[in-house]
């Protein structure tokens, strides 16, 4: 199998079913496949061969879906690029991935032109829109008139994607996934969520990220679901979409659920069609999860915990397991082995903390052109995630922190997520991030970066007393900073390295 065979099959058996809805544009599966073929045939005519890398720097849209599948049908390897990157950052990815053609949105013409400048590998810049810069081609000029399926043999073992990590600890690295690995991820999602062709999916998170792309767009297309695509997340529009389109399944990062809860008069929207909510990409504070469950129903929520290098594969927590294992990250997902190990690679005892590692069919082939970096985290078939977790007697894991985010104060380990869970329970706090800042005596001390709810003011002494009810003394934040919003990457993860850099001068003696 390959990733686009299911699209062609749905075109054959359900040609008139609604496939993609983007704004006022509605495409049936026949039209979806025809748009994909127009791009695939054009790529072939421009000399794209199996294994060639094609980048797409685009926001969520109907065109993103067409370009992504068009690249695959031409035998190419899709390289999705974060549309929020600067020209310099995008330039690194285009060069590192050996991309030969790049697709971009109209409002990114300047960025992509600068990013491509001096890169001899890039033969063509294709712009989705009505205006372009010099040496660029509009998508309307590029795409082929042929809507026939291109006769390109693509094997399950052929590379399908190079997904770049967020680069929070250095330059981004390209995660190589073939068709087999992405298919394995998609099938696991279908089984876990009990997805079917009748589902109405809503795409809110960025499609260039592995979670929304591989866990939802690919399975939705495989099954022949109707998929509503939104360019960006807007809380009120999301509630309107659920009501209007009778959305049955969607995925959101914790921040999205937080903002949905802030919508005034949200009771006016009918949310009863939602049968399954996936959350992940960043830790979900338990206080926030309880509120979201009250909003959508207690039996709808799936926790999904993985990383790009895993496809993303990892662990999950089913709705019924939220009743007995609330707050846990979950157990090994479909076809996955999961362990928690010490520094010697030995399994830790239940309740102890170690590194979370996984082994499954979806784990990456490796980092593109980086064998040494690959060898550091792929060992004997196991992916070492860099996440710290504990495991209970039933095999359920609970992530406690990233290795690099753990705070060591006076020799005691402080897991930032534990402190954050307590802070999120405070009625006046919208968001919180806990970091370690330098301390002359203790090495590090605990600091909290707080975003208050609108109109609220945080009293530090009151907050310390509040934390004292649930936290040991050494875990209680000694320093508090307030911000209007926390820095995040495209997947919703808080960029704690930026916070540590911002506040590192606040050393305490």
State mean pLDDT over 365-372.
Answer: 97
Q: Give the pLDDT confidence score for residue 171 in this predicted structure.
A: 80
pLDDT in tens, 357-368: 999 999 999 999
Q: Give the distance, in angstroms, between the CA of residue 467 and the centroid of all CA atoms in the same chain.
A: 31
Q: Output the pLDDT for position 359.
A: 96
With bands split at pLDDT 50, 70 and 90, how would you rate the model's confidence at 39?
A: very high
Residue 192 DSSP SS3 = helix
Rounded to 10°, the helix 29-45/5-13 angle is: 140
Q: What is the Cα 272 distance to its own chain's centre?
A: 26
H or E stretch including 276?
A: strand 276-280
Q: How confident is the model at residue 96 (pLDDT cuts 50, 70, 90)?
A: very high
pLDDT of 509 strictly over 50: no
Q: What CA–CA distance (Å, rounded) separates 117 from 134? A: 12
Q: What is the three-class DSSP state of 166?
A: coil
The confidence band for 410, taking pLDDT boundaries of 50, 70 and 90, is confident
pLDDT at 66 over 90: yes
Work out the average pLDDT over 383-391.
92
Q: Quick: pLDDT tens for 294-326.
A: 999 888 999 998 889 999 988 999 999 999 999
Q: Determine contact, residues 149/37, Cβ cutoff 8 Å.
A: yes
Q: 507 pLDDT exceeds 70? A: no
| pLDDT attached to residue 292 | 94
**CA–CA separation, 80 vs 102, rounded Å?**
10
Q: What string of DSSP letters covers 437-500?
A: EEETTTEEEEEEEEEEPTT----HHHHHHHHHTTS-GGGS-SEEEE-SS--B-TTS-B-HHHHH
Q: What is the pLDDT of residues 133-158, one digit of tens each?
A: 988 999 999 999 999 999 899 999 99
* DSSP H or E stretch at residue 286: helix 286-296
Q: What is the mean pLDDT of the chain?
A: 92
Nearest of 308, 242, 254, 274 to residue 431 by alpha carbon = 254
User: Using CA atoms, how far apart are residues 260 and 240, in angstroms rounded to an integer?
Assistant: 11
Asked if pLDDT for residue 94 goes beyond 70, the answer is: yes
Q: What is the rounded distance in angstroms from the CA atom of residue 501 to the CA atom of residue 504?
A: 5
Interhelix angle 460-468/416-423, nearest 10 degrees: 110
Pairing, β 124-128 against β 276-280: unpaired
* Domains delineated in the chain: 29-177 (3.40.50.980), 233-332+339-402 (3.40.50.12780), 406-503 (3.30.300.30)
What separation in angstroms does the CA of 265 have from each of 85, 86, 245?
A: 35, 38, 19
Query: Lowest-pLDDT range, 76-90, 279-293, 335-349?
Result: 279-293
DSSP letter string, 7-30: HHHHHHH-TTSEEEEETTEEEEHH
The confidence score (pLDDT) of residue 309 equals: 95
pTM of the model: 0.87
Number of other CB atoms surrounding residue 484 within 10 Å: 6
Task: Count CA atoms within 13 Å of residue 285 on its CB side.
Answer: 25
The H helix count followed by the E strand count for the chain is 17, 27
Distance of CA 174 to the CA centre of its chain: 15
The pLDDT of residue 501 is 83
Does residue 75 carry a pLDDT above 50? Answer: yes
pLDDT above 90 as % of the chain: 78
The pLDDT, as a whole number, for residue 18 is: 98
Confirm if 119 and 113 have CB atoms less than 8 A apart.
no
Lowest mean pLDDT among 35-39, 111-115, 427-431, 469-473: 469-473
| Rounded Cα gap, residues 293 and 307, in angstroms | 24
Question: Taking 70 as the threshold, does the pLDDT of residue 490 lie above it?
Answer: no
* Average of per-residue pLDDT across 451-462: 91
Distance CA 289, CA 376 (A): 34
Q: What is the pLDDT of residues 165-216, one digit of tens each?
A: 875 556 889 999 999 999 999 999 999 999 999 999 999 999 999 999 999 9
Q: Residue 414: pLDDT above 80? A: yes
Q: Comparing C-alpha atoms, which of 212, 193, 189, 191 is closest to residue 68? A: 212
- The residue ranking higher by pLDDT, 439 or 372, is 372
| H/E stretch holding 32 | helix 29-45
- Cβ–Cβ under 8 Å, residues 281 and 214: no
């Amino acid at each position: 199998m390959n990733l686009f065979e299911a699209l062609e099959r749905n075109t054959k058996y359900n040609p008139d079913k609604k496939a993609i809805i983007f704004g006022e544009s509605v495409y049936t599966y026949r039209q979806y496949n025809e748009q994909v073929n127009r791009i695939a045939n054009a790529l072939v005519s421009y000399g794209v061969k199996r294994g060639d890398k094609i980048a797409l720097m685009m926001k969520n849209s109907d065109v993103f879906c067409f370009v992504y599948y068009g690249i695959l049908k031409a035998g190419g390897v899709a390289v999705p690029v974060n549309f929020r990157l600067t020209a310099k950052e995008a330039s690194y990815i285009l060069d590192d991935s050996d991309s030969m053609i790049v697709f971009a949105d109209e409002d990114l013409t300047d960025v992509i032109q600068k990013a491509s400048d001096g890169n001899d590998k890039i033969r063509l810049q294709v712009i989705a829109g009505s205006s372009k810069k010099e040496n660029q081609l509009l998508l309307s000029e590029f795409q082929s008139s042929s809507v026939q399926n291109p006769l390109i043999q693509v094997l399950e073992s052929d590379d399908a994607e190079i997904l770049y990590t967020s680069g929070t600890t250095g330059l981004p690295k390209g995660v190589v996934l073939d068709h087999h690995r992405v298919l394995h991820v998609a099938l696991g999602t279908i089984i876990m969520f009990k997805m079917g062709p009748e589902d109405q999916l809503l795409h809110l998170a960025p499609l260039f990220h592995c979670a929304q792309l591989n866990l939802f767009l690919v399975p939705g297309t495989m099954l022949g679901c109707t998929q509503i695509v939104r360019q960006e997340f807007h809380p009120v529009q999301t509630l309107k979409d659920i009501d209007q389109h009778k959305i049955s399944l969607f995925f959101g990062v914790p921040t999205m659920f937080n903002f949905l809860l802030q919508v005034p008069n949200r009771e006016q929207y009918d949310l009863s069609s939602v049968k399954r909510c996936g959350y992940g990409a960043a830790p979900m504070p338990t206080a926030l999860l309880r509120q979201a469950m009250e909003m959508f129903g207690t039996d709808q929520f799936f926790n999904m915990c993985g990383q790009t290098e895993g496809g993303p594969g990892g662990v999950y927590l089913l709705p019924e397991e939220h009743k007995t294992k609330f707050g846990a990250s979950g157990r090994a997902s479909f076809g996955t082995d999961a362990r928690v190990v010490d520094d010697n690679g030995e399994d830790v005892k239940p309740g102890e903390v170690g590194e979370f590692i996984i082994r499954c069919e979806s784990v990456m082939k490796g980092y593109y052109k980086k064998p040494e970096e690959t060898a550091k985290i792929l060992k004997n078939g196991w992916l070492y995630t860099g996440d710290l977790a504990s495991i209970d007697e039933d095999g359920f894991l609970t992530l406690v922190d990233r290795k690099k985010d753990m705070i060591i104060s006076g020799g005691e380990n402080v897991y930032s997520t534990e402190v954050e869970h307590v802070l999120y329970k405070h009625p006046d706090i919208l968001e919180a991030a806990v970091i370690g800042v330098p301390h002359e005596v203790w090495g590090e001390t605990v600091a909290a970066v707080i975003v208050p709810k609108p109109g609220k003011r945080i009293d530090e002494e009151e907050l310390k007393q509040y934390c004292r009810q649930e936290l040991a003394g050494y875990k209680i934040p000694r320093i508090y900073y307030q911000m209007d919003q926390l820095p995040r990457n495209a997947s919703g993860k808080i960029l704690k390295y930026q916070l540590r850099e911002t506040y590192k001068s606040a050393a305490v003696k």
